[in-house]
Amino acid sequence: MNLLIPQGRISDKYLVRAAQEMGHRVYLMCNLQEPDRLGEVEKACQPDVWIPLPSRFELKLSHEDYASWYHEKIRVCVAYNEIIVILPCSSMDVVMDEVAMVNEDFTLLGIHPEQAEFFRDKTVYLPAMAEAGILVPKIYEIVEPNDEPKNYDLPYPVIAKPGLGCGGWGIYIASDEERLRWFFSASNNPSSFTDNALFYQDRDFAGEPKSYLHFGMGGRYLVQEYLDGPCISLAGTTSDGIPKLDLAYDIGITAPPTCAEINFGWPSAHRNIEAAITRLLASYSKCGTTFPDGAWMADTILHDRELWLVDFSVRMSSSGTKMLYHACGNLSYAKDVIHATLGDTWKITGTNPKFPTYYSFIPFPKGKISNVKYPDNNASYMNHKGDTRLVEIVTPIQGNGRVFEMRNDTQVADRGWIVSISNIGTRSNAQELVEQYIKGIKFDINT
């Protein structure tokens, strides 16, 4: 059967590989701001049919016009190539509406407009899930575009996050009223905003970075209770409205005021969470929302021995896919996603990761990086105690002079990563080896 991945990234190589192993023909669309990176995605994923597309910046289109243009490209691809299903890949969020409309047009299996409208925006689905009895941090207010909170008399700290956020972008934790007012106030330097960036950025409050999602995208903000506790991500699949868990793993995030994801580890260092996961999945099943068949992922905060939902997406988990692939040595999660999306009975039962696994983004600081030197002999990075070894290294900077614009102005690289597994050791062995490699990277920086 012909399957389409509508917004391919390197992280979707496992989904492509799983589909090909199952005998399917994979069409992969890809559009990137930097055209020279298209080849990296094609080389990593190796789809049967490669469909590179210009970015909206190349076409000089607005968000709305580009969405319409992209919708038509998907329609043509589906019609011309007799596509059976559009897979919920790791970057599905950005084309969810377009995919839903095409599914409706061609009566394809998968997400449809009413589901896309619900799951796309946190300001829509989080209040609805809270009303249905799912544990969600208390929502103090939903702030409309170009507006400010109406109530600043809140129990601080509070967290402000965009309904249309992405990977920690635009999130701010305010410790008091003054900082929350500052965050929502007009930028003192609006000329610093460009169409290629999502943020206005200033340092006009005690030298702290001010980064929030541009309201011009039409998104609203949530102001929520800030729950202290570790972040645990869940990756799974849904079939006939029933959610099934494939993996629970820890997420390492940067400290307040921002919270960008920087590393991931399996198994969870937090024991006795199985009961909390079971209760959360049972709540999903009872909330009355129609879950589209296919992938889902959820980010939660472990607080008072319960998992509180902070994010939910009907798509592949890019970090979960990588974690399961390395931890199990197979493509079980990706195959589950394909079976569930096709409306087929699950052929794989019970994902059981074998090896403790840890991976981290490479934390280059923001600025002009030069004279980068990675450790010479990657094979030497092996801890014989527990047979721990590096299994994947992606190095984004090969030359000199590259300028990185990091999420929320924190030290988080958006492309490079390192993965290690510990065959008979522990997750701490795997984490230690990754951190050892990162410390071995040498470079000069001009900020």
Q: What single string gives the DSSP state of each residue in 110-157? A: S--HHHHHHHH-HHHHHHHHHHTT-----EEEEEPTT---S-----S-
User: 263 has which bridge partners?
Assistant: 252, 360
Pairwise CA distance, residues 263 & 324, whole Å: 15
Q: Whole-angstrom distance between the N-terminal and C-terminal Cα of the chain?
A: 50
Q: What is the per-residue pLDDT for 76? A: 97
The answer to the question of residue 125 being in a domain is no
Residue that terminates a domain, selected from 186, 201, 225: 225
- Going by the DSSP 8-state scheme, the letter that residue 109 receives in this structure is B
Provide the pairing of β-strand 49-53 with 25-31: parallel
Q: How many CA atoms lie within 13 A of 298 on its CB side?
A: 27
Q: Are residues 107 and 142 in the same domain?
A: no
Q: For the segment 248-298, what is each residue's pLDDT rounded down to a tens digit?
A: 999 998 777 667 788 999 988 887 788 888 888 888 777 766 788 889 999
The answer to the question of residue 355 being in a domain is no
Q: What is the per-residue pLDDT for 402? A: 54
Q: pTM to 2 decimals?
A: 0.87
The answer to the question of residue 397 being in a domain is no
Q: What is the per-residue pLDDT for 318? A: 83
Q: What is the per-residue pLDDT for 410? A: 54
Indicate which CATH number applies to the domain containing 50: 3.40.50.80
Q: Are residues 22 and 102 in the same domain?
A: yes
The answer to the question of residue 131 being in a domain is no
Q: Are residues 21 and 70 in the same domain?
A: yes
Residue that terminates a domain, selected from 198, 225, 252: 225
Q: Are residues 210 and 166 in the same domain?
A: yes
Q: Are residues 56 and 91 in the same domain?
A: yes
Q: Are residues 99 and 32 in the same domain?
A: yes
Domain that residue 31 falls in = 2-111
Residue that terminates a domain, selected from 210, 225, 240: 225
Which ranges of the chain have pLDDT less than 50?
190-207, 209, 211, 213-216, 406
CA distances to 246, 287, 294 from 114, in Å: 26, 16, 16
Q: Are residues 145 and 221 in the same domain?
A: yes
The answer to the question of residue 133 being in a domain is no
Give me the number of domains the chain comprises: 2
Residue with tokens 């490079």: 416
Q: What is the per-residue pLDDT for 331? A: 85
Closest to 41 in 3D by CA, of 87, 110, 91: 91
The answer to the question of residue 230 being in a domain is no
77: part of which helix (H) or strand (E)? helix 63-81
Q: Are residues 18 and 95 in the same domain?
A: yes
Pairwise CA distance, residues 411 & 258, whole Å: 11
Q: For the segment 335-374, what is each residue's pLDDT rounded down to a tens digit?
A: 989 998 998 776 665 556 788 999 998 887 766 778 888 8
The answer to the question of residue 201 being in a domain is yes
Q: Are residues 24 and 92 in the same domain?
A: yes
Q: What is the per-residue pLDDT for 163? A: 85
